Chains A and B, each alone.
Chain A
Amino acid sequence: MSGPYRLDGGAIDRSRRLAFRFDGRRLTGYPGDTLASALLANGIRLVGRSFKYHRPRGIFTAGSEEPSALVELRSGAYREPNTRATVAELFDGLEAASQNHLGSLRHDLLAVNDLLAPFLSAGFYYKTFMWPKSFWERVYEPAIRASAGLGRLSGEPDPDRYDKGFLHCDLLIIGAGPAGLAAALAAGRSGARTIVADEDFVMGGRLNAETHEVDGGCGTTWAADAVRELASMEKVRLLPRTTVIGAFDHGIFGALERCTDHLAATAGKPRQILWRVYTKRAILCAGATERPIAFGGNDRPGVMLAGAVRTYATRFAVRAGQRVGLFTNNDDGWRTAVDLATKGVRVAAVIDVRDREPVAAVPDARVRMNSQVTATRGRHGLSGIVLATGERIALDCLAVSGGWNPNVHLTCHHGGRPVWREAIAAFVPGGRLPGGMAVAGAAAGAFTTADALVGGHRAAVAALGELGRPAAGGGPPVASDEATDVTAFWHVRDSRGRAWLDLQNDVTVKDVVQSHREGFRSVELLKRYTTLGMATDQGKTANVLALAIVAGQSGRTIAETGTTVFRPPYTPVPIAALAGRARGNDFRPVRLTPGHDWAERQGAVFVEAGMWLRAQWFPLPGESHWRQSVDREVLHTRGSVGICDVTTLGKIDIQGRDAAEFLNRIYANGFARLAVGKVRYGLMLREDGIAYDDGTTARLGDHHFVMTTTTANAVLVFRNMEFARQCLWPGLDVHLISVTEQWAQYAVAGPNSRRLLEKLVDPEYDISNAAFPFMACGEIRVCGGTPARLFRISFSGELAYEIAVAARYGEALMEALMAAGEEFDAVAYGTEALGVMRIEKGHAAGNELNGQTTARMLGLQRMVSKKKDCIGNTLSERPAMNREDGLELMGFTPLDHTEELTAGAHLLALGASAETANDEGWITSVAYSPALRSSVGLGFIKEGHARVGETVRAWDALQGKDVPVEIVSPHFYDPDGERLRV
């Protein structure tokens, strides 16, 4: 024993003391303590403030249902708000602070709210704060927000690591109390793959908190033995400190394992793991949660659940008070009095609402049958109670038991609604359980240890039977039945003062009555109007009580009144745990081209393009602005030769006897008669007729094509082509495989591109203009025998090629190209220069192909063949997509060439007012054209081609610009395409 609040015994390790701090006070406890038990052991009862009225709050429970004892745990970036002290394992150096107060915990200035309580009743805020109008956001709301909320985030990035994982089993057992352990033993002994998850750090459930006997011995010892046996089984996995948070479809459960929360530091390992557990069967053995009784002043620190008081005494060897009283409507409550008295705790009174003989003898206690508590005394903690008779009893702890509610939450995650069982005055699991789930023990309403053991065993045997696995021999463990008789009793009507239902959100019986009076009669409306059950405990201790009050108000039964809906998670889960590793650089994979390291060595600036990193430009020493680099890359390419990594384009290998016919249906334009050795530009429509992707496809053989797609749409195009192949035309012999990763591909563009390539291409291949004209392709060899593919295509408008080699040679080819290009002053160019040149040429790209544009808008309507079936051609003929006054892709140049255009500017007629009705289009892409020495833009404008030469406004009020622009052809540079055919 140590200190006035410690008892003998308990499951704590007295060989070692743990130092911790609460609100700066240095305190000690033992391994095996929770923060709550350690606080109680130090005589601390006031630990926080309630949400609305800032009333003093203490420790109410001994489990995860705790509504009151919430603290900020740890410090700095590790600070963790709203941590339930009742489940926080004590460790050496633990720091905790109370929360939700202005000033000190004892002298919270916001406690003034409590004095205003008459004006802050249910829904008061819906009825006021409306005048003056502007005051809501400036005055009222900030005040409400500052007062509400509970703990504080640190404001700093969470410094811990998190992980996820996947587990597979025949049988998941949720909860390792008597039912769960009995089930686990049956399953484990049969050899089934079994997982046992329990939220506590010691398995055993109530057996650790009670003085029950199992198999003729101590229940706690039996539990420890069972856990030891299970741990030795190869096919059984025990997951302590693991809460099953939700039941999802098809037997998948989410579970949160707290790996290091009981340690001072994580040692670099994940703090928590989110498990996805794939099960064939699951048995819910989640136990039950005790509920209170509503009476005047029942929120004072020192008023606790009876089972919790018992747990603190038995498991943690802590007396919750020096003079404890009991207020109950059931036999189980008496157990607390008996157990406490046995341990030498002074039980001053037992008050039972039932009119009957006392259930047990409690030495020295005032026993009051057919009696009720109407009020409490005390300021920051309980000092006494008042009975209906006027009798006053001095107490510093009142243990309250209103009966037990089965923890049915997970049974409801698929829409099941619990059903009322009058005999135990509680809801038990109803229909529509998640598939494969059974319920056993107290969670099923079997409240005695004997029933729990038998129920768990039977449920496991039944589940094993369904899986075709015979259970090993042996029956369930044996225990005797305890008395659990209960008489439904919810609310002391003669209460003086407010009677609390939801301790955290400050919802009282009066609030429920008032909201019913105002018409919020459905339980869901009641919840939403009063906020009952919306606190961090989701009403685990409050809801049933409130339902009973509502039922009383409406004259309906509790069964008719029904419950609100339980949703995941069972207990709150950190966002970081749900995110796992995915943050920072690990948020998504990075895709790099084979030439990436080379580009990095050149000092390239990279840009994200989907998952890819692409070189945006290659700054040279002395270039201080990105435009200098980009202009140089463009001018060099147009003047001589440039090389650009285009590996990221999607590439699809298409083979089969019907490959040509297949492509003919995939592309809007014809491909059936493309000659071997030729490339063709292709436009793809969605079935709704919208242009969604473009690219080139080369015919390498009669039955062999290779397609390129845009970087962004590579995956989508492949998916759609597989759909067409498998679902639309399964009779065509065509086969697809992605080769995006297989080939490193470079554009070599500019008047010297052929001369450069001729230096690398093996001599037996003739790539002269005559032998290898514009839109030719072929399989060649380079650098002395390395296989390559060469395509004479051009996105820049220059004489240009794309050359591809197997990815392993990608970096080496880039180096070889640059080395061979030295004599031509070859440049590497990035995506910016690529963009400039394509805009100068009027080629549509992502900003134009944004899923909203038709072939007609792009000026490509003649490509949509009317002579064949292809995806999208029928619906592309819908009238609104072919309006004469429709949008058309045009070029735009500022009248004043020193002005810069901006993408996203809208186009308005000169003199038209800026309103939606006058909106004529918008600028899609802009670039500074070094060739034209002007900013140029592409954009869509109504009836564009008919308006060439007209001046309109490029109106960008967002960036304060309004630029007169001339409508011109979108082909700014070499409009007749002479340069690419030389």
Chain B
Amino acid sequence: MRYSALQILKEGLTGNRGWKPVWREPDPKPHYDVVVVGGGGHGIATAYYLTAVHGLTDVAVLEKSWLGSGNVGRNTTIIRSNYLLSGNEPFYELSMRLWEGLEQEINYNAMVSQRGIINLYHTDPQRDAAVRRGNAMILAGAGAVLLDREALRRQCPFLDFDNERFPIKGGLWQPRGGTVRHDAVVWGYARAADRRGVDVIQHCEVTGFDIRDGVCRGVETTRGAIAANKVAVCVAGSSSRVMALAGLRLPIESHVLQACVTEGLKPAIPGVITFGAGHFYVSQSDKGGLVFGGDIDGYNTYAQRGNLPTVEDVCEGGMALMPMIGRARVLRMWGGVVDMSMDGSPFIDRTPVTGLYFSGGWCYGGFKAAPAGGYCLAHLLATGTSHPVAAAMRLDRFASGAVIDEKGMGAQPNLH
């Protein structure tokens, strides 16, 4: 069933009784060409691009819970390609381009909304860093605009420009950045992959890998053994646990990233704004809630919840930056477990086990990366070579020293 205004009209007039399931609910087959572990944004996107770009259709996605129950279902929905380093920026720019054509391609409105993202700066060194970053973005085709105070004031008059502690000097603006309705991404990709023959299998947890002679030949699951020529693991938040089943240790720690949403409000904030002198970023959803967050709590955890001091710290940043939001009420705070890697950048790579591939370490930036993450992992699975924009995202980069450390914090995951 193709989605369109006409279809809505037709269904509306007949009591909305004709809508069909967006995906099948197939039982797993005994063998697939490729098994993708993880039914989140990256896993589903990988399956979709395996079929759409590489013509592979004998593909299954295994999700231990409901579809999109991981980080794609609990993030702050921001998309951007405002990275600094050449190991990252072209990759995120590919992702941005995929976002830009996504809805028409998969016939699903994920509400890709390019309202722009502004990273504020408050000091000369921050400005210098913003200029370096902005130029790196332009080199990669991502586009960037440096806003001075007056230009910024026209866009965001509600900011506390003369904050007594950290006055705002300007901002680096990526007009193409924005937000996406996060759940819809996984639904749209799943529907499109399903229509091309991918088996999207929910409530099927991988409990082990069938590894013989250093070769991965399939997975064991709560719904039986499934053989596969290639297995790809995209389970950010659970990467260490799942890969440990294959006997692998990763340069990853699991941390909780909290976020908050307020009650619905009439439009107040135009795009995404990040505070350069505190821990706070915010956007407003189409439903009117202010969606905001800050840094991770900072300790290893697999509990999908955090603690109050982090939320307080984030709200302090919010009130320092835009005191007009004070009377907006936080409706819900939640936490997602993120893979924090040792340099703050992800991995899309083969593993020491032949036939076993890994995508993870997305830190708290995995959502915006889902299209390119899926695209590049599909490329690696289908062609056997890394996609050029993901070539630096290797598992062995800490041994070689070719790290991708955007923040310059070194091998301390909670600082990235």
Contacts and interface: CB of A to CB of B under 8 A. Distances in A.
B324 A154 contact: yes
A131 B263 CA distance: 30
Contacts of A689: 401
B111 interface: yes
B305 interface: yes
Contacts of B183: 528-529
Nearest to B124: A607
B139 interface: yes
B67 A525 contact: yes
Nearest to B158: A155
A608 B410 contact: no
A321 to B, nearest CB: 29
Contacts of B267: 142, 145-146, 149
A567 B329 contact: no
How big is chain A's contact interface, by range? 35 or more
Given A118-B12, A145-B288, A415-B304, A128 B312 contact: no
A725 to B, nearest CB: 19
Nearest to A569: B330
B154 interface: no
Contact of B160 (A124, A584, A880, A956): A584
Interface stretch (B205-213, B222-230, B231-239, B313-321): B313-321
A119 B9 contact: yes
Contact of A903 (B11, B132, B187, B403): B132
A274 B326 CA distance: 14
B262 A137 contact: no
B86 A587 contact: no
A970 B114 CA distance: 42
A579 B316 contact: yes
Interface stretch (B16-24, B40-48, B366-374, B379-387): B16-24
Interface stretch (A156-164, A218-226, A595-603, A766-774): A156-164
A155 B268 CA distance: 7
A146 B125 CA distance: 39
Interface stretch (B29-37, B100-108, B240-248): B100-108
Contacts of B134: 904, 958
A578 interface: yes
Contact of B327 (A124, A153, A536, A879): A153
B308 A916 contact: no
B303 interface: yes
A529 B75 CA distance: 16
Interface in A212-268: 246, 248-249, 252, 254
Interface string A676-711: 000000000011111010000000000000000000
B278 interface: yes
Given A130-B103, A524-B73, A851-B410, A81 B331 contact: no
B402 interface: yes
A81 B324 CA distance: 12
A903 B135 CA distance: 11
B312 A579 contact: yes
A155 B135 contact: no
Contact of A585 (B4, B165, B265, B411): B165
Nearest to B406: A852
B327 A80 contact: yes
B111 A585 contact: no
Contacts of A957: 135, 138
Contacts of A128: 3-5, 8, 109
A536 B146 contact: no
Interface residues of B, number: 122
A878 B410 CA distance: 14
Given A51-B264, A569-B333, A582-B316, A690 B410 contact: yes
A851 B405 contact: yes
A517 B128 contact: no
Given A517-B19, A528-B183, A585-B164, A852 B329 contact: no
B140 interface: yes
A860 B96 CA distance: 39
A727 interface: no
A126 B110 contact: yes
B408 A126 contact: no
B22 A519 contact: yes
B21 A575 contact: no
B354 interface: no
A850 B108 CA distance: 43
Interface string A566-587: 0111001111101110111101
A150 B90 CA distance: 40
Contacts of A156: 324
Given A149-B287, A688-B410, A125 B326 contact: no
A496 B407 CA distance: 60
A572 B262 CA distance: 8
B219 interface: no
Given A128-B109, A137-B113, A276 B308 contact: yes
A531 interface: yes
Contact of A686 (B73, B320, B410): B410
A910 to B, nearest CB: 16
A131 B4 CA distance: 9
Contacts of A276: 308
Interface in A515-567: 517-520, 522, 524-525, 528-529, 531, 534-536, 538, 567
The 10 A-B pairs with the shortest beta carbon distances in the complex, nearest first, are: A851-B408, A904-B131, A158-B326, A149-B288, A878-B401, A576-B326, A572-B329, A157-B323, A578-B315, A127-B3
Given A145-B286, A578-B330, 4 more contacts: A130-B103, A519-B23, A567-B333, A573-B330
29 contacts: A81-B328, A124-B8, A141-B286, A153-B265, A158-B323, A415-B303, A518-B20, A519-B22, A519-B23, A522-B65, A525-B67, A528-B73, A574-B326, A574-B328, A575-B290, A576-B323, A583-B326, A584-B160, A584-B323, A588-B166, A608-B122, A686-B411, A852-B408, A904-B134, A916-B90, A919-B86, A957-B135, A958-B135, A959-B146
